[in-house]
Structures are given as structure tokens and as C-alpha cells.
């Protein structure tokens, strides 16, 4: 009996011609480009449950996959704080927005999200009234009902709720920052800081990486951004009533009896327009 013995592992698959790809060739080491100038702000107590927080909304261009967030108290020594990922919706106003009482049915927010290639979807009037479509607009928090596409990555937003969570209603010029604050936005980074940081200026660097998670920028190559922390997100009395009032939530305390359970200095409260404070009936 004769035969051929073939050692295991020597054989290979038949040679086939390379098939053409449906699109461009993969480039796992493509340059991610710099992170856009981020939106840095301290949200009010209604969004932080009374905790000191700074929010960072970071985005980039077509090959930007995200960025690391490094924080410094002196602008020289930086510590890693976390990572922000692709998916944020950030842009600028393309027309001036006047100040107007809430709700605002007269004005339109015109915005371009070209820098992040973001998309905005319409909601319902209830979504706007419940702040579901929450946005940052040059320091003022707003929500909207209808988003109308006017050009690639450009929208007109109508039926506006203004000055949400106690933020000041103001006029905003063309070119000012705008960002959509989605509840599960992977690009929104929340940085909690201790009370000892209030009044201090901190510095941030946001080195980016590409959509394949490669080509992380060197920390020394990127620009630093700064923000002076004010403690705007905390409630100094840790009082749930103040947090609710600042969020624009109606509070009914019922009737006040003859016994006094506690006392508090409510100080200055920023109450959203249209909220009702019902202290009950004093006999």
C-alpha cells in the first residue's frame, strides 16, 4: 500500500484574487484632527442634585473618535480625569437670538452643527415643556419643539423654552456656542469637584484619538482651556426644596400648623418663570 504523507500545518488555502472593497480602504492610523473648542460650563443645582460639577461637551471632525480629558490646577501638571467619545452635537449660532420671556414663540434659534457633523431631531411640545430637548446656548439653557433642517448640519429651532433651571435669559450673538445635552450623550463628560476648588481656575487638555481608537495625540501638542469654578451646581443649604424650585418644579407645602418643625434661611432663589410657590394657608 502506497500513499503520500503530508505534515500537519504545511498546507495553505488556495490563492484567490483580491476582491474590490465597497468603499475607501481602511486607514486605522488616520490623523484624528484636533478636538473642537469644547463647551465648558457649570450646570445649576437642578441638573446636579446639589453636587459641584463641571460639564465638558467635546466633539471633533469626521475622523475624530473621542478624546481624553486631563485636568490641572496650575496649568503645568495634568492628571487624567476620563474619556469623552464621538457622538456629541455641538455647533454655533448662525443668527442672533434676542432675549424673550419664557415660553418664546416669537424667536428662532438658527444653528450650524458642521463642526461636529451633528443631527437634531424634533420633539413634541411636551418634550420642550419637560426640557427633554435640553440645549446649551451661550450660557442659557433652552429646549425646543421643532428642528427644521435648512442646510447640511444646519437647523432652525422653534417653540423655545427659555432660561431653564434658573439660567439667565439673555440675548446671544451669531457665532456663540451651542450644544445639545442628551441624557446619554457619550461626548458629555461630567467632572465632579470638591468644594475646595470653588473660586479656583482649572485647566483642561483634550488630546484626541481617531475612530479606530488609534493615533492618540501627545498631551504637549494640544492647547489648554480654562474655567474658573464658581460652585454654581451646589445648593449651600443642601435643601431639596431649593433644588426643586431652581429646576422650575411647583412645590405645594400644604397648610402650616401651630408647630414649627424647622427653620431655614432660603436666601436668594432663582425660580424659573411660570413656576408656582404655594406656601399653604397660615391659620
Q: Which of 6-20, 172-186, 257-271 is the least confident region?
A: 257-271
Is 134 within the bounds of a domain? yes
Q: List b or e across 173-192, with b for residues whose CB sees 16 or more CB atoms inside 10 angstroms.
A: eeebbbbbbbeebebbbebe
Rounded to an integer, the average pLDDT of 126-146 is: 97
Do 176 and 215 belong to one domain? yes
Do 92 and 137 belong to one domain? yes
Is 43 within the bounds of a domain? yes
Do 103 and 199 belong to one domain? yes
* Total structural domains within the chain: 2
Query: pLDDT exceeding 90 applies to what percent of the chain?
Result: 66
Which of 228, 246, 263 is the last residue in one of the domains?
228
Which of 181, 196, 228 is the last residue in one of the domains?
228
Do 56 and 176 belong to one domain? yes
pLDDT of residue 257: 53
Do 149 and 131 belong to one domain? yes
Q: What is the pLDDT of residues 73-104, one digit of tens each?
A: 999 999 999 999 999 999 999 999 999 999 99
Do 63 and 101 belong to one domain? yes
Do 160 and 65 belong to one domain? yes
Do 191 and 270 belong to one domain? no
Is 23 within the bounds of a domain? no
How many other CB atoms are there within 10 angstroms of residue 254's CB atom? 9
Is 257 within the bounds of a domain? yes
Q: Provide, for the chain, the percentages of residues in helix, strand and coil under a 3-state DSSP scheme, each rounded to the nearest 5.
A: 10, 30, 60
Do 80 and 206 belong to one domain? yes
The residue among 39, 73, 51, 47 whose CA lies nearest residue 188 is 39
Is 218 within the bounds of a domain? yes
- The answer, yes or no, to whether residue 11 has pLDDT greater than 60, is no
Q: Which of 106-110, 126-130, 194-198, 263-267 is the least confident region?
A: 263-267
Is 1 within the bounds of a domain? no
Do 267 and 187 belong to one domain? no
Helix, coil or strand: residue 14: coil
Strand ranges (E), 152-252: 154-161, 177-180, 188-192, 201-205, 208-210, 224-228, 251-252
Residue 10 or 115, more confident? 115
Q: What is the dihedral of CA 72, 77, 79, 81, to 10 degrees?
A: 20
Q: Which of 5-9, 34-38, 154-158, 194-198 is the least confident region?
A: 5-9
> E strand or H helix at 136, and its extent?
strand 135-137
Average pLDDT score over the chain: 85
Do 82 and 216 belong to one domain? yes
C-alpha cell of residue 257: 400648623
Which of 202, 228, 254 is the last residue in one of the domains?
228
Do 78 and 52 belong to one domain? yes
Is 7 within the bounds of a domain? no
Rounded to an integer, the average pLDDT of 155-176 is: 97
Q: Which domain holds residue 73?
A: 39-228
Rounded to an integer, the average pLDDT of 143-149 is: 98
Q: What is the pLDDT of residues 211-261, one digit of tens each?
A: 999 999 999 999 999 999 999 887 554 455 655 665 566 767 666 554 444
**Cis peptide bond prior to 103, omega within 30° of 0:** yes
Q: What is the pLDDT of residues 15-71, one digit of tens each?
A: 666 655 555 567 899 999 999 999 999 999 989 888 899 999 999 999 999 999 999
Is 199 within the bounds of a domain? yes
Amino acid at each position: 500500500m502506497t500513499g503520500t504523507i503530508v505534515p500537519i500545518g504545511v498546507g495553505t488555502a488556495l490563492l484567490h484574487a483580491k476582491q474590490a472593497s465597497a468603499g475607501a480602504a481602511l486607514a486605522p492610523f488616520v490623523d484624528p484632527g484636533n478636538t473642537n473648542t469644547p463647551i465648558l460650563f457649570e450646570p445649576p443645582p437642578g441638573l446636579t442634585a446639589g453636587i459641584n460639577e463641571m460639564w465638558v461637551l467635546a466633539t471633533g471632525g469626521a475622523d475624530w473618535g473621542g478624546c481624553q480629558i486631563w485636568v490641572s490646577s496650575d496649568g503645568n501638571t495634568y492628571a487624567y480625569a476620563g474619556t469623552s467619545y464621538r457622538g456629541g452635537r455641538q455647533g454655533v449660532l448662525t443668527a442672533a437670538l434676542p432675549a424673550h420671556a419664557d415660553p418664546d414663540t416669537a424667536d428662532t434659534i438658527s444653528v450650524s452643527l458642521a463642526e461636529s457633523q451633528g443631527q437634531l431631531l424634533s420633539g413634541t411640545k411636551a418634550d420642550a415643556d419637560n426640557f427633554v430637548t435640553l440645549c446649551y446656548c451661550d450660557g442659557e439653557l433652552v429646549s425646543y419643539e421643532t428642528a427644521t433642517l435648512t442646510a447640511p448640519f444646519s437647523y432652525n429651532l422653534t417653540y423655545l423654552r427659555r432660561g431653564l433651571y434658573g439660567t439667565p435669559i439673555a440675548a446671544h450673538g451669531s457665532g456663540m456656542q451651542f450644544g445639545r445635552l442628551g441624557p446619554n450623550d457619550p461626548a458629555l463628560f461630567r467632572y465632579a469637584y470638591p468644594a475646595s476648588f470653588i473660586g479656583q481656575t482649572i485647566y483642561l487638555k483634550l488630546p484626541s484619538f481617531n475612530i479606530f481608537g488609534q493615533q492618540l495625540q501627545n498631551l504637549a501638542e494640544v492647547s489648554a482651556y480654562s474655567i474658573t469654578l464658581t460652585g454654581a451646581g451646589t445648593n449651600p443649604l443642601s435643601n431639596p426644596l431649593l433644588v426643586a424650585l431652581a429646576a422650575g418644579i411647583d412645590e405645594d407645602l400644604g397648610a402650616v400648623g401651630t408647630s414649627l418643625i424647622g427653620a431655614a434661611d432660603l436666601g436668594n432663589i432663582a425660580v424659573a418663570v411660570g413656576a408656582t410657590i404655594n406656601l399653604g394657608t397660615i391659620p
